[in-house]
Structure 1
Amino acid sequence: MKNVYRIEFHSGSKEELFPDFTPDFPYTASCSQLDQFMGRFVPWHWHKTVELFYMESGRMEYCTPKGTMIFPAGSGGMVNSNVLHMTRPQAESEKNIQLLHIFDPSFIAGHHGSRIEQKYVTPITAAPQVEIIPLSPEDPVQANILDDIRESFHLSENDFGYEVKLRETLSDIWIRLLAISRPLLEEKGDHSKANDKIKTMMVYVHEHFGEKISISEIAAAAFSSERECFRAFHDCLHMTPVEYINNYRLQMACHLLANGREPITSISHACGLGSSSYFGKVFREYMGCTPLEYRRKWQDSDI
């Protein structure tokens, strides 16, 4: 299992990137220590893979277009395929460890169009009303699933038959998730066009964050009006387009400060944040420290 302190994105779609994935084994396991992430949160993102997780310690907040869920230690759940989400710890000081299985639905479904995919996998992955399936240790059925999720991280890659045992374990967990989510699956859930549009608009911001960006340009990227643009950002990300642009610019500034030696002024201009004095002001408001203090902290870190 790999320890994770940051996430990476595909350069084109800006979906989360999983370097360990291969076509013949689309799976990875990780231990995410969010209290040690730069900024102490994972920004809004999505991925085709599903995210099955268990909270080892701390309290995690998951935000999706439909709202926020809190996951304390001992709980867990599954984030559905292609769901926009962001995560952050609830407390500033506590240790926050999350164990994750990340896998493409094909890992348990087999080839596209298979009977297993049609009967057991697609009913969940194609359901727009299912963003997250939460699991609580207070419910006996869900507690059993949580126990198996926790135990599944003890499977060793060095054991003979590891790949088969892992797929068998995840398939068993999946079918039980399908069983407990049936009431939710029976609810009417319409696919949101805003969800598709917001991803296109986000990609536009990611590709042009160093330039001057207008709301009309963001809207045009998704063939939308400015009014639709504002509504999509409000409904899906719970913020305005301008707030998202500024947040993304500051996230990229944090990345450059922690991983390079470029002058502060150069980073400010590269991220579309103007003068170094303005950059210093908004950065302090965002991170609670100056850009230089942030650089020293993370470049001196062992992470």
Structure 2
Amino acid sequence: MKNVHRIEFHTGSKEELFPDFAPDFPYTASCSQLDKFMGRFVPWHWHKNVELFYMESGKMEYCTPKGRTIFPAGSGGMVNSNVLHMARPQAESEKNIQFLHIFDPSFIAGQHGSRIEQKYVTPITAAPQAEIIALYPEDPVQAKILNTIRESFHLSEHDFGYEIKLREALSDIWLQLFSISRPLLEEKGLSNKTNDKIKTMMVYVHEHYADKISIAEIAAAAYSSERECFRVFHDCLHMTPVEYIKTYRLQTACHMLANSREAITYISHACGLGSSSYFWKVFREYAGCTPLEYRRKWQKNDI
């Protein structure tokens, strides 16, 4: 299992990149230590792959367009395919360890169009209301699934038959999740059309954050009106387009501060935040420290 302290994204997007995935084995297992992530959170992003996890320690908050869900130690769940989400620890000082199975739905569905895909996989992955399936140990049925998830991380890739045993374990977990999720699948969820619009608008911001961006330009990228743009950002990310632009610029600045030696003035302009004085002001409000203090902290952590 790979220890993870940061995630990678496809260029110009917030779709997570999984460099360990192989075409013949679209799966990876990781131990995510969120308290060691830069800024102690994972920003808004999405991925086609399913995220199945167990909280070993700490307490974590997941946010999706549908709302927020808290996962204390001993709980777990699944983030569905292509769901926008962000995550952050609930306590500043506590150790936060999360075990994750990340896999393409085809890993258990088999060939596209198969009976297994149609009957058991697509009904979940295509359900916009099933953003997150949360599991808590207080419920006996959910506790059983959690135990199966935790035990599945004990499988070793060095064991004979590992690949088959892993697919069997994940298929068993999936079937249990499918069984308890039937009432959820009957509910009405956020339309896929809205989901596609917000991603298109986000990608526009990610590609043009260094320039001046108008609401009209963001809306036009998704063939929407300005009013629709405001509604989609509010419904999906719970913030305005302007707030998202500012937040993304500051997140980019954090990344540059931690991973480069560029001057503060250069970074402020490169991120579309203008003058150094304005940058220092908004950065302190965002990160709780100055840009230089942030750079010293995270470059020291990398060392």
* TM class, shorter-length: over 0.9
| Structure 1 position 55, deviation (Å) | 0.4
**Greater than 6 Å deviation, 4+ residue runs:** none
Decide whether the 8 Å contact of 2:201 with 2:218 is kept in 1: yes
| Structure 1 position 289, deviation (Å) | 0.6
Query: Residue type matched to 1:111 in 2?
Result: Q
| Structure 1 position 302, deviation (Å) | 4.0
Distance 1:92 1:189 in 2: 33
Q: Which runs of 5+ in 1 are unaligned?
A: none
Distance 1:68 1:24 in 2: 35
With over 3 angstroms needed to count, the CA separation of the structure-2 counterparts of 1:150 and 1:280, relative to structure 1, is same
| Aligned equivalent of 1:171 | 171
* Equivalent residue runs for 1:111-190 within 5 Å: 111-189=111-189
Moved more, 57-66 or 11-20: 11-20
* Equivalent residue runs for 1:1-303 within 5 Å: 1-189=1-189, 191-302=191-302
Distance 1:142 1:134 in 2: 9
| Structure 1 position 12, deviation (Å) | 4.8
Q: What's the secondary structure of 1:60's corresponding residue?
A: strand
Q: What's the secondary structure of 2:211's corresponding residue?
A: coil
Q: What's the secondary structure of 2:48's corresponding residue?
A: coil
What does the per-residue CA deviation read over 1:266-291, in whole Å, with 9 as the maximum and x for residues that have no partner? 11110001111111111111001111
Distance 2:223 2:186 in 1: 33
The sequence identity of aligned pairs, in percent, is 85
Distance 2:222 2:29 in 1: 34
What does the per-residue CA deviation read over 1:64-95, in whole Å, with 9 as the maximum and x for residues that have no partner? 11111100000000011111111111111111
Aligned residues: 303
Distance 2:179 2:132 in 1: 15
What does the per-residue CA deviation read over 1:5-58, in whole Å, with 9 as the maximum and x for residues that have no partner? 111111154311011011100001111111111111111111111100000111
Distance 2:61 2:202 in 1: 22
Distance 1:90 1:195 in 2: 27
| Structure 1 position 187, deviation (Å) | 2.5
TM-score scaled by length of structure 1: 0.98
| Structure 1 position 141, deviation (Å) | 1.0
Decide whether the 8 Å contact of 2:14 with 2:44 is kept in 1: no
Decide whether the 8 Å contact of 2:13 with 2:206 is kept in 1: no
Query: Residue type matched to 2:24 in 1?
Result: D
What does the per-residue CA deviation read over 1:165-207, in whole Å, with 9 as the maximum and x for residues that have no partner? 1000000000000001011112244624221100000000000
Distance 2:43 2:109 in 1: 29
Distance 1:302 1:156 in 2: 29
Distance 2:189 2:290 in 1: 45
Moved more, 27-36 or 11-20: 11-20
Q: What's the secondary structure of 1:298's corresponding residue?
A: helix
Q: CA RMSD in A?
A: 1.1
Q: What's the secondary structure of 2:301's corresponding residue?
A: coil
